[in-house]
Amino acid sequence: MSIDGIGKRGGVTPGAPLPGVTPAQGDFQVGLSSAPAADPSAAVAGSDAFQALERGEINVAQYLDARVEGAVAPLLSKLSPEQLEFVRAELRAALETDPVLVELVRKTTAGAVSSG
């Protein structure tokens, strides 16, 4: 007697139509969504900040501040100044205390700082 179903007949053949189910139209594509795209200027600002870090024009703390500003940019018109300051402070604190983020920052900035 088998309890895992291996070797038993039945089930649905992959690609076979299911009764009562309308097949989806078009191809499945990853990465497409109806949600608005993130602010592309935030990515550019982060990239510019990283390049400035690599050139030695800013330090790691200034780089992290720039990344935090890029992260809160989409919220500028949605939150009050007090709420924005709270979000900035929480993000900055997480970058300094969360072990996973601390390690990510170390790995990301180590090459840029040591190559300068």
Could you read off the pLDDT of 48-87 as tens digits, one per residue? 888 888 888 999 899 999 999 999 999 999 999 999 999 9
Q: What angle, rounded to 10 degrees, do the helices at 40-55 and 60-72 form?
A: 180
Helix and strand element counts for the chain (H, E):
4, 0
- Domain membership of residue 24 (yes or no) is no
Q: Which of 100, 107, 109, 35 is nearest to 66 (CA)?
A: 109
Read off the pTM. Answer: 0.56
Task: Give 42's contacts (C-beta < 8 A, 6+ positions apart).
Answer: 70, 71, 73, 74
Whether 68 is covered by a domain: the verdict is yes
For 92, the domain range is 40-115
pLDDT value of position 1: 53
71 belongs to a structural domain: yes
The Cα diameter of the chain in Å comes to: 71
Domain count, the chain: 1
